[in-house]
Structure 1
Amino acid sequence: MEIVYLAAAIIISVSALATGIGFAMLGGKLLESTARQPELGDQLQTRTFIMAGLLDAVPMIGVGIAMYLIFVVAG
């Protein structure tokens, strides 16, 4: 059963790491695009917030799967 806890920890940590990298890339591209075309700043920011919401769903799904593993499979 300890392997299930390890699997849950790996799922959560990898999803958190991937989300952090994704947010860093998204923010960097927003700054780069806004610096190139400042007149599109509002549109780019709106689309960035939409993408950030979609990107934030990845660790939530990972936590849900990890909780399933911990409470149903290992329980």
Structure 2
Amino acid sequence: MIVTLTKGITMSVGGFAPAFGIALIGSKAMEAIGRNPEASGKLFVPMLLGMAFAEAIAIYSLVVSFTL
């Protein structure tokens, strides 16, 4: 029972935090592109890298949940 609860907490925290981070990254990138449309090429790669690193946290929590 405690293992199931631990898995649920791990996945909920590990899923919520990256989702919030990805939303914040996307929101700020769109604000920056809205203010300066010419900078969209310079913002695209760092935005994708930030989203990928945030998504990696969700994948790590999934792996931890499977190993419990």
TM over 0.5: yes
Larger Rg: 1
Displacement after TM superposition at 1:10 (Å): 0.6
Q: CA offsets, 1:7-63, max 9 Å, x none?
A: 111101111111111111011101111111211111101110111111110011001
What is the 5 A alignment of 1:43-62? 43-62=42-61
How many percent identity over aligned positions?
26
1:21 aligns with 20
For structure 1, which runs of at least 5 residues remain unmatched after alignment? 70-75
Displaced runs of 4+ in structure 1, greater than 4 A?
none
For structure 2, which runs of at least 5 residues remain unmatched after alignment? none
Is the aligned partner of 1:65 residue 2:54?
A: no
Aligned length: 68
Please give the root-mean-square deviation of Cα atoms over the aligned residues, in Å: 0.9
Q: TM-score, normalised by structure 2?
A: 0.92
Amino acid at match of 2:64: I
